[in-house]
Amino acid sequence: MTDTNWDSYWQAEDKDPPFASFYRSHVVGKLVAKYCDAYFPPAGKFIELGCGSGESSLQIPERDRVFVGLDLSQNALSRAQKSGFYSELVSGDIGALPFDDESFDGAWNIGVMEHFKADELVPVLREIYRVLKQNGVAVFFWPTWFGPITNAALVYDTLHAISGSKKTMFPKGYVFYWVKGQISAFAEKAGFKNCVVYLSTRDLFQNAVVIVRKM
Ligand SMILES: C[S@@+](CC[C@H](N)C(=O)[O-])C[C@H]1O[C@@H](n2cnc3c(N)ncnc32)[C@H](O)[C@@H]1O
Protein backbone atom coordinates (compact mmCIF):
# COMPACT_ATOMS: atom_id res chain seq x y z
CA MET A 1 0.00 0.00 0.00
CA THR A 2 3.00 2.28 0.42
CA ASP A 3 3.00 5.08 -2.13
CA THR A 4 6.15 7.18 -2.03
CA ASN A 5 4.64 9.80 -4.35
CA TRP A 6 3.14 11.31 -1.23
CA ASP A 7 6.67 12.40 -0.40
CA SER A 8 6.79 14.67 -3.43
CA TYR A 9 3.32 15.99 -2.57
CA TRP A 10 4.67 17.09 0.83
CA GLN A 11 8.03 18.22 -0.56
CA ALA A 12 7.89 21.90 0.34
CA GLU A 13 5.25 24.35 1.46
CA ASP A 14 5.78 26.58 -1.58
CA LYS A 15 4.89 23.57 -3.81
CA ASP A 16 1.47 23.04 -2.16
CA PRO A 17 -1.54 23.36 -4.47
CA PRO A 18 -3.00 26.89 -4.46
CA PHE A 19 -5.40 27.54 -1.56
CA ALA A 20 -4.43 24.26 0.16
CA SER A 21 -3.31 26.03 3.31
CA PHE A 22 -6.38 28.28 3.37
CA TYR A 23 -8.65 25.24 2.95
CA ARG A 24 -6.90 23.31 5.73
CA SER A 25 -6.87 26.20 8.21
CA HIS A 26 -10.11 28.02 7.49
CA VAL A 27 -12.46 25.45 6.01
CA VAL A 28 -11.88 21.79 6.87
CA GLY A 29 -9.83 22.63 9.98
CA LYS A 30 -12.89 24.22 11.61
CA LEU A 31 -14.99 21.15 10.85
CA VAL A 32 -12.31 18.82 12.19
CA ALA A 33 -12.04 20.81 15.43
CA LYS A 34 -15.80 20.86 15.92
CA TYR A 35 -16.50 17.15 15.38
CA CYS A 36 -13.37 15.76 17.03
CA ASP A 37 -13.97 17.89 20.11
CA ALA A 38 -17.61 16.81 20.24
CA TYR A 39 -17.00 13.07 19.76
CA PHE A 40 -13.66 12.49 21.48
CA PRO A 41 -13.69 12.26 25.26
CA PRO A 42 -11.82 15.19 26.88
CA ALA A 43 -8.95 12.95 27.99
CA GLY A 44 -7.09 10.05 26.38
CA LYS A 45 -4.84 9.12 23.49
CA PHE A 46 -5.92 9.83 19.93
CA ILE A 47 -4.31 9.05 16.60
CA GLU A 48 -4.53 10.78 13.24
CA LEU A 49 -4.06 8.20 10.48
CA GLY A 50 -2.55 9.96 7.47
CA CYS A 51 -1.77 13.23 9.26
CA GLY A 52 0.07 14.91 6.39
CA SER A 53 1.42 18.27 7.56
CA GLY A 54 -1.11 18.31 10.41
CA GLU A 55 -2.45 21.69 9.34
CA SER A 56 -6.07 20.46 9.14
CA SER A 57 -6.01 19.27 12.76
CA LEU A 58 -4.23 22.01 14.68
CA GLN A 59 -7.45 23.54 15.97
CA ILE A 60 -8.72 20.47 17.82
CA PRO A 61 -8.84 21.59 21.47
CA GLU A 62 -6.21 19.75 23.47
CA ARG A 63 -7.96 19.50 26.87
CA ASP A 64 -6.36 16.39 28.48
CA ARG A 65 -5.83 14.70 25.15
CA VAL A 66 -2.60 13.35 23.74
CA PHE A 67 -2.33 13.39 19.95
CA VAL A 68 -0.29 10.96 17.86
CA GLY A 69 0.22 11.38 14.11
CA LEU A 70 0.96 8.60 11.61
CA ASP A 71 1.86 8.92 7.95
CA LEU A 72 3.86 6.97 5.41
CA SER A 73 5.53 10.10 4.01
CA GLN A 74 8.68 11.28 5.79
CA ASN A 75 8.24 14.76 4.35
CA ALA A 76 4.73 14.91 5.80
CA LEU A 77 6.04 13.81 9.20
CA SER A 78 8.78 16.47 9.13
CA ARG A 79 6.18 19.13 8.44
CA ALA A 80 3.85 17.73 11.12
CA GLN A 81 6.75 17.83 13.59
CA LYS A 82 7.15 21.57 13.00
CA SER A 83 3.47 22.13 13.86
CA GLY A 84 4.13 21.16 17.50
CA PHE A 85 0.63 19.63 17.72
CA TYR A 86 1.53 15.94 18.09
CA SER A 87 3.15 14.35 21.14
CA GLU A 88 4.41 11.55 18.92
CA LEU A 89 4.84 11.05 15.18
CA VAL A 90 5.08 7.60 13.71
CA SER A 91 6.07 6.42 10.26
CA GLY A 92 3.70 3.68 9.16
CA ASP A 93 0.98 2.30 6.93
CA ILE A 94 -2.68 2.51 7.91
CA GLY A 95 -3.08 -1.03 6.63
CA ALA A 96 -0.54 -2.45 9.13
CA LEU A 97 -0.52 -0.18 12.16
CA PRO A 98 2.57 -0.48 14.37
CA PHE A 99 0.54 -0.43 17.61
CA ASP A 100 -0.83 -2.98 20.07
CA ASP A 101 -4.53 -3.80 20.18
CA GLU A 102 -6.65 -1.29 22.07
CA SER A 103 -3.99 1.45 22.19
CA PHE A 104 -6.19 4.48 21.47
CA ASP A 105 -9.35 6.17 22.72
CA GLY A 106 -10.05 7.60 19.30
CA ALA A 107 -8.79 7.96 15.73
CA TRP A 108 -9.42 10.41 12.91
CA ASN A 109 -8.29 11.40 9.45
CA ILE A 110 -9.02 13.86 6.67
CA GLY A 111 -8.81 13.15 2.98
CA VAL A 112 -7.33 9.69 3.35
CA MET A 113 -10.08 7.06 3.12
CA GLU A 114 -10.93 7.88 -0.50
CA HIS A 115 -7.50 6.60 -1.54
CA PHE A 116 -8.44 2.97 -0.77
CA LYS A 117 -10.23 0.72 -3.19
CA ALA A 118 -13.20 -1.31 -1.97
CA ASP A 119 -11.10 -4.45 -1.42
CA GLU A 120 -8.56 -2.48 0.66
CA LEU A 121 -11.08 -0.56 2.75
CA VAL A 122 -12.45 -3.24 5.03
CA PRO A 123 -8.96 -4.50 6.02
CA VAL A 124 -7.94 -0.87 6.71
CA LEU A 125 -11.06 -0.28 8.81
CA ARG A 126 -10.44 -3.56 10.68
CA GLU A 127 -6.93 -2.41 11.49
CA ILE A 128 -8.29 0.86 12.90
CA TYR A 129 -10.88 -1.11 14.87
CA ARG A 130 -8.12 -3.31 16.30
CA VAL A 131 -6.09 -0.42 17.75
CA LEU A 132 -9.12 1.29 19.31
CA LYS A 133 -10.16 0.59 22.89
CA GLN A 134 -13.69 -0.60 23.64
CA ASN A 135 -16.04 2.35 23.13
CA GLY A 136 -13.31 4.08 21.11
CA VAL A 137 -14.53 6.33 18.33
CA ALA A 138 -13.24 6.99 14.83
CA VAL A 139 -14.07 10.22 12.98
CA PHE A 140 -13.37 10.24 9.25
CA PHE A 141 -13.57 13.38 7.11
CA TRP A 142 -14.24 11.40 3.98
CA PRO A 143 -14.38 13.26 0.66
CA THR A 144 -17.61 12.90 -1.28
CA TRP A 145 -18.04 12.42 -5.01
CA PHE A 146 -20.06 15.63 -5.17
CA GLY A 147 -17.61 17.90 -3.27
CA PRO A 148 -16.06 20.92 -5.04
CA ILE A 149 -12.43 19.83 -4.50
CA THR A 150 -13.21 16.31 -5.70
CA ASN A 151 -14.63 17.74 -8.89
CA ALA A 152 -11.80 20.25 -9.32
CA ALA A 153 -9.37 17.31 -9.05
CA LEU A 154 -11.33 15.30 -11.62
CA VAL A 155 -11.28 18.24 -14.07
CA TYR A 156 -7.55 18.86 -13.39
CA ASP A 157 -6.64 15.20 -13.90
CA THR A 158 -8.82 14.85 -17.01
CA LEU A 159 -7.39 17.97 -18.67
CA HIS A 160 -3.86 16.71 -18.00
CA ALA A 161 -4.74 13.27 -19.38
CA ILE A 162 -6.21 14.82 -22.55
CA SER A 163 -3.02 16.82 -23.06
CA GLY A 164 -0.96 13.64 -22.67
CA SER A 165 0.31 14.41 -19.17
CA LYS A 166 0.16 11.95 -16.29
CA LYS A 167 0.03 14.76 -13.73
CA THR A 168 -2.70 14.42 -11.10
CA MET A 169 -3.78 16.75 -8.30
CA PHE A 170 -3.24 14.03 -5.68
CA PRO A 171 -0.62 11.26 -5.94
CA LYS A 172 -2.89 8.24 -5.59
CA GLY A 173 -6.15 7.49 -7.35
CA TYR A 174 -9.38 8.05 -5.50
CA VAL A 175 -12.53 6.00 -5.20
CA PHE A 176 -15.86 7.45 -4.12
CA TYR A 177 -18.63 5.62 -2.36
CA TRP A 178 -22.26 6.33 -1.70
CA VAL A 179 -21.93 8.28 1.47
CA LYS A 180 -24.35 6.67 3.84
CA GLY A 181 -25.18 3.21 2.51
CA GLN A 182 -21.81 2.01 1.23
CA ILE A 183 -19.58 3.60 3.87
CA SER A 184 -21.66 2.36 6.80
CA ALA A 185 -21.71 -1.14 5.24
CA PHE A 186 -17.87 -1.15 5.05
CA ALA A 187 -17.64 0.07 8.66
CA GLU A 188 -20.05 -2.60 9.90
CA LYS A 189 -18.12 -5.33 8.07
CA ALA A 190 -15.02 -4.19 9.99
CA GLY A 191 -16.92 -4.52 13.28
CA PHE A 192 -17.93 -0.90 13.94
CA LYS A 193 -21.39 0.06 15.16
CA ASN A 194 -23.57 3.15 15.23
CA CYS A 195 -22.37 4.77 12.00
CA VAL A 196 -23.49 8.40 11.85
CA VAL A 197 -22.84 10.64 8.84
CA TYR A 198 -23.02 14.44 8.68
CA LEU A 199 -22.64 16.83 5.77
CA SER A 200 -21.82 20.48 6.30
CA THR A 201 -22.27 23.69 4.31
CA ARG A 202 -19.00 24.94 5.90
CA ASP A 203 -16.97 22.94 3.35
CA LEU A 204 -19.73 22.91 0.71
CA PHE A 205 -20.29 19.17 1.30
CA GLN A 206 -16.70 18.32 0.36
CA ASN A 207 -16.42 15.84 3.24
CA ALA A 208 -18.84 13.42 4.78
CA VAL A 209 -18.13 13.38 8.51
CA VAL A 210 -18.38 9.67 9.27
CA ILE A 211 -18.45 8.69 12.95
CA VAL A 212 -18.23 5.05 14.05
CA ARG A 213 -17.71 3.35 17.38
CA LYS A 214 -16.13 0.12 18.63
CA MET A 215 -18.67 -1.44 21.01
C1 LIG B 1 -4.63 14.09 0.82
S2 LIG B 1 -3.43 13.84 2.08
C3 LIG B 1 -4.29 14.48 3.51
C4 LIG B 1 -3.36 14.85 4.60
C5 LIG B 1 -3.93 15.56 5.81
N6 LIG B 1 -4.85 14.69 6.50
C7 LIG B 1 -4.56 16.88 5.46
O8 LIG B 1 -5.75 17.05 5.68
O9 LIG B 1 -3.85 17.76 4.95
C10 LIG B 1 -3.43 12.08 2.37
C11 LIG B 1 -2.37 11.68 3.39
O12 LIG B 1 -2.51 10.29 3.67
C13 LIG B 1 -1.23 9.70 3.69
N14 LIG B 1 -1.40 8.28 3.34
C15 LIG B 1 -1.88 7.78 2.19
N16 LIG B 1 -1.91 6.43 2.23
C17 LIG B 1 -1.44 6.09 3.47
C18 LIG B 1 -1.20 4.84 4.12
N19 LIG B 1 -1.47 3.68 3.52
N20 LIG B 1 -0.70 4.86 5.38
C21 LIG B 1 -0.40 6.03 5.99
N22 LIG B 1 -0.59 7.25 5.42
C23 LIG B 1 -1.10 7.27 4.18
C24 LIG B 1 -0.41 10.47 2.68
O25 LIG B 1 0.97 10.37 2.90
C26 LIG B 1 -0.95 11.88 2.91
O27 LIG B 1 -0.20 12.56 3.89
Mutate to test the pocket of ligand 1, among 1, 3, 5, 6 (most ligand atoms within 8 A of CB): 6
For residue 167, is it within any domain? Answer: no
Average pLDDT over residues 18-26: 91
For residue 130, is it within any domain? Answer: yes
Q: How far is the CA of 71 from the centre of ligand 1 (A)?
A: 6
- Which CATH number belongs to the domain containing residue 88 in this structure? 3.40.50.150
Residue 114's nearest CA partner among 73, 137, 143, 92 is: 143
For residue 161, is it within any domain? Answer: no
For residue 157, is it within any domain? Answer: no
The pLDDT value given to residue 4: 56
For the CA of 110, the nearest atom of ligand 1 = 6
The pLDDT value given to residue 46: 99
| DSSP state for residue 93 in the 8-state scheme | B
For residue 152, is it within any domain? Answer: no
Ligand 1 pocket list (CB less than 6 A): 1, 6, 24, 50-53, 55-56, 71-73, 76, 93-95, 109-112, 115, 170
More confident residue, 77 or 179: 77
For residue 168, is it within any domain? Answer: no
**Spatial contact of 21 and 83, defined as CB atoms under 8 Å apart:** no
Instruction: Describe the chain by its helix, strand, coil percentages, rounded to 5.
Output: 35, 25, 40
The model's pLDDT over 72-100, given as tens digits with 9 standing for 90+, comes to 999 999 999 999 999 999 999 999 999 99
For residue 92, is it within any domain? Answer: yes
Q: How far is the CA of 169 from the centre of ligand 1 (A)?
A: 14
Provide the domain limits for residue 204: 5-145+176-213
With a CB cutoff of 8 Å and minimum separation 6, the contacts of 190 are: 122, 125, 126, 128, 129
The yes-or-no verdict on residue 14 having pLDDT over 80 is no
Share of the chain above pLDDT 70, in %: 98
For residue 188, is it within any domain? Answer: yes
Q: How far is the CA of 57 from the centre of ligand 1 (A)?
A: 13
The model's pLDDT over 134-170, given as tens digits with 9 standing for 90+, comes to 999 999 999 999 999 999 989 999 999 999 998 888 8
Q: How far is the CA of 10 from the centre of ligand 1 (A)?
A: 10
The yes-or-no verdict on residue 114 having pLDDT over 70 is yes
- How many domains does one find in the chain? 1
Rounded Cα distance, 87 and 208, in Å: 27
Label residue 1 by pLDDT band (50, 70, 90). Answer: very low
Label residue 3 by pLDDT band (50, 70, 90). Answer: low
- Which H or E run includes 140? strand 132-143
For the CA of 48, the nearest atom of ligand 1 = 6
For the CA of 93, the nearest atom of ligand 1 = 20
Label residue 193 by pLDDT band (50, 70, 90). Answer: very high
